[in-house]
Amino acid sequence: MSLNMQRRHFLSLMGAAATLPLTSRLAYAATPLTFQASWINDAEFAGYFAAMDKGYYTEQGLDLTYLSGGPDVIPESALIAGKADVTLTTPDTTIKAIVEQGAPFKIIGAQYQKNPIGIVSLASNPIKTPQDLVGKTLAVPPVNVISVEAMLKISGVDRASVNIVPYAYDPTPLIKGEIDASLDFTTNVPFSIKQAGPDATSFLLYDFGFTTFNDTVVVTTDVLASKRRELVAFLRASRQGWDDNLADPAALPPTFAETWFKGTGRSIENEVYFNTAQKPLIEASGGIFSMSEDSIAANIEALAAVGINATREMFDTTLLEEI
């Protein structure tokens, strides 16, 4: 152990010695920034993959580390634990954590202007409005139950009239008719259902009063203070990547087939479908990641319906202005 420590110490001294003559160059060297994604590699993150492949982060002087997500990866936790500087979250959980636990988070941008989560059902047993859910079985990931409850409340549907069961991101029970509907990304799962045979129909929670962003770009107040320049650079390079990617949603996903998407078990056609479907939800008149005053107000109002008291101060739009 102590030998190991000595060796490591020795090596770091060697490293320091080696870089000494090059100190002047260090000023121009890329500064590290770690980005925690909120899910496994799919089209949801195509803009960042594009920006990495095209070297936009490097051009901005960033050495970006990309961490894939997964169901146990709670993005906000990665910030608190210091494993990542910036992450993507669902705004309801982030704001709940700020209000209830005093978590030091700031929202500095929003990838989805309209939250892509929605109610997905089969065309043969369609559920087109929240009212259609009465007496039906709806599968919801436990994380999203509050979002659904908000939408039901806003739409005047009694929560007790809907049978909500857990959803584990597998559409099989829906296809087989064991459940009537599920809550999922409407940009993604209808493709899988169609592949298995039946046609799917869906509506966004956003269109029935739950007017929130999704994949909000979140940092801690500490990182916001100490890495402001890097965060602006991150937003700028990511916006470039997203602009490239959305210019033709079918163009870039195939180029990630052997890199970012390799071995995920999903097909490129699926990613192209996803990328095409998410384009209108991401694009914003003020540029990608925009948070207009109107949309912030809409978020605050929607969250108030479920008793989450968001305030304007939780959203910091000044970095977007610097892009």
Partner 1 sequence: MGIDLRRIYGSIRNLAIIVIVWEILGRLQLVASGALPPPSAVVLRLIKDWGDYPGHIGATIFGAGVGFIIGNAVAIAAGVLFALYPLTSRVARGLNIAIFALPAIAISPILVLTLSDPVPRIVLAAIGCYFVTMTATVVGLTQVDARSVDVVRAYGGGKWKALWLVQWRSALPVILSGLRVAAPNAVLGSILAEFGGGGRWGLGVYLLGSLGRAEPDRLWGIGLVATLIAAAAYAVFALIANSITGSSQSVTVPTSLLRSDEEGRVRPLWQRGALIASSIALPFALWWVLLLALRVPAMIAKTPAGLLDYLVLLPSAPIAQGKLVAALAQTLPMTFIGMAAGLALAFALALCSQLWPAVVRAFMPVALVTQTMPLVALTPLLVLMLGRGTAVILAITISVTFFPAFVTMAQGLLMVPRAALEVPKAYGASLFTQLRLVSIPSSLPYLFAATRLTAPRALLGVMIAEWLATGTGLGNLLNQSRGYLDYGMIWSVAFVSVVLSVLFYQVVVVVERRVLGRFGMASAQ
Residues that bind partner 1 (CB under 8 A): 40-42, 67-74, 76-78, 80-83, 93, 96-97, 101, 103, 141-146, 164-166, 168-173, 175-178, 184, 188-189, 192-193, 195-196, 262-266, 270
Residues 6+ positions from 229 with CB-CB distance below 8 Å: none
Q: State in angstroms the smallest separation of the CB of 139 from partner 1.
A: 9
Nearest to 85 by CA among 237, 232, 213: 232
Nearest to 213 by CA among 293, 112, 282: 112
Q: Which pair of structure tokens corresponds to residue 143?
A: 């994380």
Report whether 46 contacts 98 (CB < 8 A). no
Interatomic CA distance for residues 88 and 94, integer angstroms: 10
Nearer to partner 1 by Cβ, of 129 and 195: the residue is: 195
Q: State in angstroms the smallest separation of the CB of 254 from partner 1.
A: 16
Nearer to partner 1 by Cβ, of 143 and 298: the residue is: 143
Element (H, E) at 165: strand 163-166
Residue with tokens 């739409």: 155
Nearer to partner 1 by Cβ, of 198 and 287: the residue is: 198
Nearer to partner 1 by Cβ, of 80 and 284: the residue is: 80
Nearer to partner 1 by Cβ, of 4 and 285: the residue is: 4
Interatomic CA distance for residues 245 and 263, integer angstroms: 21
Report whether 119 contacts 177 (CB < 8 A). no
Other beta carbons less than 10 A from residue 140's beta carbon: 23
Q: State in angstroms the smallest separation of the CB of 286 from partner 1.
A: 29
Nearer to partner 1 by Cβ, of 10 and 169: the residue is: 169
Q: State in angstroms the smallest separation of the CB of 321 from partner 1.
A: 29
- Angle ∠(91,97,100) on CA atoms, nearest 5: 130
Q: State in angstroms the smallest separation of the CB of 28 from partner 1.
A: 29
Q: State in angstroms the smallest separation of the CB of 150 from partner 1.
A: 14
Nearer to partner 1 by Cβ, of 128 and 194: the residue is: 194
Residue with tokens 């402001």: 228
Q: State in angstroms the smallest separation of the CB of 170 from partner 1.
A: 5
Report whether 155 contacts 207 (CB < 8 A). no
Report whether 62 contacts 234 (CB < 8 A). yes
